[in-house]
Structure 1
Amino acid sequence: MSIPTGQITGLVLAGGRGTRMGGLDKGLQLLRGEPLALHVLKRLAPQTGPVLISANRHVERYAELGAAFGATVVGDSLPGFPGPLAGLLAGLRAAQTGFVLSAPCDTPNLPADLARQLVDALDANAADIATVTTRDANGESVLHPVVALLRTSLADDLAAFLAAGERKVRAWYARHTTVEVGFTDGRAFYNANSLRELADLERA
């Protein structure tokens, strides 16, 4: 890869309300006997250098999960669970590397070449952000916006965007040079937003 692995910080986004899971902490729900967030850590860690977990609840539990990977837990600087961009900002601020590779805590089957493909696209397009698209059963493009490789130099702009009351990931990406990278296996990015979807993953 043109960007060394050690220059990429992995970021597991586990700071949400878990609204569609009835308020449960999504990253701590079990899949095949292990918390979802641990599955994501196991996918990200071999592709990155340092690892961070963005969490606003059960911080000690996340610290335990991340200990084997040397992961640090970071929380949102904004109150009230303001969404994934706040988690991204926490990661961008905490990272000591030039890049952050983020993924939500409920995507346990991320591809092993995720970092390589996003790095190649970021490089080829001189982009600030590289994110993921797949195709649904009808052939329509599906964006997975918070599975993304971002330059940590974007932190100040993101902070200003959030301070203005903005929350939409796509709107912030539109302010920067963003490249969408197509992946053929949509199952690799399947996310369990609800207990039913988690049960579907378990059966699969």
Structure 2
Amino acid sequence: MPSSSPASAIPTAALTGLVLAGGRGQRMGGVDKGLQHLHGQPLAAHVLARLAPQVSALAISANRNHDVYAELGAPWYAQVIADTLPDYPGPLAGLLAGLRVAGTEWLLSAPCDSPWLPADLGARLAAAVRAQNTLIATATTVNAAGEVSLHPVFALVHTSLAGDLAAFLDAGERKVRAWYARHTAAEVVFADERAFYNVNSLQELAELDRA
């Protein structure tokens, strides 16, 4: 994978990418969302391809079909990891698993259902944590009407926060933004809303596939 661009305040070598694919897929009828196809490739494959140039290593958070995800990640040697908590507790559990296995200082996460994530996601979030001296940075978008949308699972998180996140989850907490609120998190505004589009239903996916 290539080194980071001069715009990045943190070298690519310090980043591990994490594709969050461990959900129930309830809005898709319970299917494994990351393995549903768009233009001939699983959604997770699109995300892996987008993340790969931005990081030095990759991991996939998945709670089923590990063999399939392992094959999917093989071109980038992505390891497949499962939640350590039962019953699909949400994206924070996947993030925790990623923080624990990352061999780098930082973890860059993205959901498996956002095939057009920004090519400069890592560089811009990295620049924000350095500029604002934080351990977390997340993405937001603002539309033409000035309405702000938060995209909290597109995040850069320092791996030193694994212990704090484990304690938060052990206390029964599950909300991503509630955990971020325990820390100072930088928010980076991206202009392209489409880059953060996430597929929520099989019908939506079929319509995109035909487009």
- Structure 2's unaligned 5+ residue stretches are 1-7
Paired AA for residue 171 in structure 1 = A
The 5 Å alignment of 1:53-72 reads 53-72=60-79
Instruction: For residue 195 of structure 1, report the CA deviation from its aligned partner.
Output: 1.2
Task: Find the counterpart in structure 2 of residue 194 from structure 1.
Answer: 201
Matched, 1:19 2:26: yes
Matched, 1:178 2:207: no
- Structure 1's unaligned 5+ residue stretches are none
Instruction: For residue 3 of structure 1, report the CA deviation from its aligned partner.
Output: 1.2
Task: Find the counterpart in structure 2 of residue 43 from structure 1.
Answer: 50
**What is the TM-score normalised by the length of structure 2?**
0.94
Paired AA for residue 126 in structure 2 = V
The alignment-based identity, stated in percent, is: 67
Report the RMSD for the aligned CA atoms in angstroms: 1.0
Structure 1: distance between partners of 2:186 and 2:205: 30
Paired AA for residue 105 in structure 1 = C
String of CA shifts for 1:94-120, please: whole Å, max 9, x gaps.
101000000000000011111111111
Structure 1: distance between partners of 2:185 and 2:22: 24
Instruction: For residue 203 of structure 1, report the CA deviation from its aligned partner.
Output: 4.1
The 5 Å alignment of 1:32-111 reads 32-111=39-118
Instruction: For residue 149 of structure 1, report the CA deviation from its aligned partner.
Output: 0.4
Task: Find the counterpart in structure 1 of residue 5 from structure 2.
Answer: none
Q: How many residues align?
A: 204
Off by >4 Å, runs of 4+ in structure 1: none
Larger displacement relative to structure 2 (137-146 or 92-101):
137-146
